[in-house]
Amino acid sequence: MTSRTRRSAAVVLLMAVVLGAMVVGGAASGLRGAGSGSVPLPRPINAEGIVLEAQTTFVGAASPFTMDLRLGTTEGTLSIALHPAVTSRTQFGATLAGEQLGNPIQRFDSIPLDTLAPDANGVTRIQLVTSGDEPPTPFTLRTDEPGVYPLSVTVSGPSGDERLITHVTRLENSPSPTANESRPARPTFTVGVLVRLNAPTPVDADGSPVLDERDEQRLRAAATAVAANPEVPATVHTTGAVIDALSARSPLDRNVGRNLLRPTWVPVDLASLTADDLGRFVDRQLLAGNAAAERWLLGPGDPSTWVLDETVDPAALALLAERGVQQVIVPEDLTEPLNAQQFPTTLTQSFTVTDAAGGSLPALQTDTALTALLGSTSQPALAANRVLADLSVLAFDYPDVRRVAVVDTGDDPDAARALGALLTGLNTAATAPPGSEPLLATRSLGTLFAASEPVGAIQGQPTLDRDWSHLGPTSLGSWPTAALATETDERSLAVTVLPGPDAPVANATVLSAERLVLASGATALDDDERQALLEGANTVINDALAPIGIPTQGTVTLTASTGVVPITLENGRPEPVAVRVTLQSDKLEFPDGSTVELRLEPGSTRHEVAVEARASGAFPVEVTLRTGDDTRQLAQGRFTVRSGAVSGIGLILSIVAGVFLLGWWARHLRSARRSRQLIDRGNPGSVSEPVDR
């Protein structure tokens, strides 16, 4: 045996002796003095020189325990102390800060660091086996009683002492089933993980969402953890803009959306939108968010569950209920503290909230202490261990009642890095070592409510109805009116440029306008920022419609009273467009109608219009080109129609007039002769007679 091997065996033996007495601590007796909300935790100890790379959190009878440590120095000594199991959540929080640990069950001081045997990666592994039916050996971790046990590791080096506090959870032994005995359903404590993939998402000039580099790294780390742990049904809360921004850079694993809540495109102020009767805009947000989920993930999202925020008031909640929301998750910091005498333990049951219409919705609250623990250190394995141990403390309280906890990951970068270790640990908890009862189970938020008894089931009271804090509606300034006008132009664009599978430019143009309009409703924007986005949308719309017009037409001559007039229309876009053409003239009629709907292919289009002249001469014709929905004028032109022929009615009138003139002339001649004859008879001297010679 080499000296290195002998040192490794010695270290393992010493660790076994140190950890061997964990049985003394007893089981956790539940939460005492925890209050009605999660426990405010002291600042945990975070040692820079001692890194927990991995640890077995849940152990049972005859199951292995492994702890991997990375030590920042090889000079000095290592001391290990094992402490009694915690008896309350308050005490657990204190142990994280190195307080209320109690007298060590056993300790071993001053293990020389140079006697440790790290592997090629610098990691020192401690491997033990818990006690079982076999007689204990020096390498046995004797943990016969269930509970959460603090374990402190201290390194004393040239720069002083550094201390690491971690925890080991001993599970209950599985009862041996008998023919006449039915085993109770286990586990009774269920965990839902709310993964927030949220970030401020500004947009480019064309409306494309963009992310800050740090936000992108944080979000991608969390998304990767969700995809890599498919056995744990973590629930994702995000927006369509974030999905689009992440996926456009590098496609996400579609499994990220396997338990997705229905997203909006961007975070919106639901209370203010509801107060301004803008439920239709909320619907557009939901449609766009789901479209992104269906495009990039396994969408659409679950419409039954909503995560409240400070922009949701009772009126907005009623609006959401009309759109399919049946249950809500309430962040703990939005709820008022409950009476500690009536609710002495952390609230881990469902309650209800009431909307403005009088509807009652089941609700669960997140646990702020769990969120804080997940982001409490830059060591992922240590952060995950803290959360899992805290959940275990909660689970040992009222073990025969169906209760739940919601772990909200928040937006801390450390929490995102620790998420993978947490989900791996929860999967391990669900599959307990042989011979042990699993302590925790996981569900998606949509199904988590079925795993919880209402709070009154424990306190012996009716179902608890709670209020939540919200900002209420605030003024949206001039944005609603401007947004409505821009939306009208946006719809005109969509029905005019004909987006489709073979029209990528049209698709991109319509999408850009839509994104800018939707982004203008984001909660965090002020009125000027909203208006700037709407102006950007109007620019996109105007630029897209500008190439559609009417070139100069000139003069058209008709050789008969009826005929066809050619009209030239221009489509400068790369895809077909749908337009309406209206003709107007005082002297011309249009037998087929003065308005026609046309599909213009790219380039020039010649369209012939049937006309009928009511007179001869030159007549102006006004041509108006409008969008496909007839709401916006695209262009206006004029051309001249010259008609030298007389119409049928005109010819008839001319003949009638000629006949009338001929009749009048004939009567006039007869009247003149009669008048001369009358004059001659009445004045004979006026007639010359011959003279006799």
CATH (domain of 604): 2.60.40.10
pLDDT digits 0-9 by tens, 478-505: 999 999 999 999 999 999 999 888 899 9
* 15 and 114 part of one domain: yes
* 495 and 522 part of one domain: yes
Residue 249 included in any domain: no
Mean pLDDT computed over every residue of the chain: 86
Residue 152 included in any domain: yes
Task: Count other Cβ atoms within 10 Å, centred on residue 32.
Answer: 13
Which among 212, 466, 516, 247 is positioned nearest to 342, based on CA atoms? 466
Spatial distance between the Cα atoms of 412 and 668, rounded to a whole number of angstroms: 111
Query: Is the CB of residue 268 less than 8 Å from the CB of residue 282?
Result: yes
Strand 555-558 and strand 633-643: the pairing is: parallel
Global pTM value = 0.84
Domain boundary among 545, 565, 587: 545
Residues with Cβ < 8 Å from 310, sequence gap 6 or more? 334, 469, 470, 471
* 636 and 595 part of one domain: yes
Number of domains, the chain: 3
Q: Give the SS3 label for residue 260.
A: strand
- pLDDT surpasses 50 at 11: no
* 90 and 159 part of one domain: yes
What pLDDT score does 10 carry? 38
* 560 and 605 part of one domain: yes
Of 145-159, 168-182, 477-491, the range with the lowest mean pLDDT is 168-182
Residue 280 included in any domain: no
* 632 and 491 part of one domain: no
Domain boundary among 545, 561, 596: 545
Average pLDDT over residues 296-301: 92
| pLDDT tier for residue 23 given thresholds of 50, 70 and 90 | very low
pLDDT digits 0-9 by tens, 203-232: 888 888 999 999 999 999 999 999 999 999
* 634 and 585 part of one domain: yes
* 13 and 160 part of one domain: yes
Residue 286 included in any domain: no
| pLDDT tier for residue 288 given thresholds of 50, 70 and 90 | very high
| pLDDT tier for residue 159 given thresholds of 50, 70 and 90 | confident
Residue 257 included in any domain: no
* 571 and 530 part of one domain: no
Burial track 91-103 (b if 16+ CB lie within 10 A, e otherwise) = bbbbbbebebbee
* 133 and 41 part of one domain: yes
Domain boundary among 129, 147, 172: 172
pLDDT digits 0-9 by tens, 611-637: 998 888 888 999 999 999 999 999 999
Structural domain range at position 616: 548-648
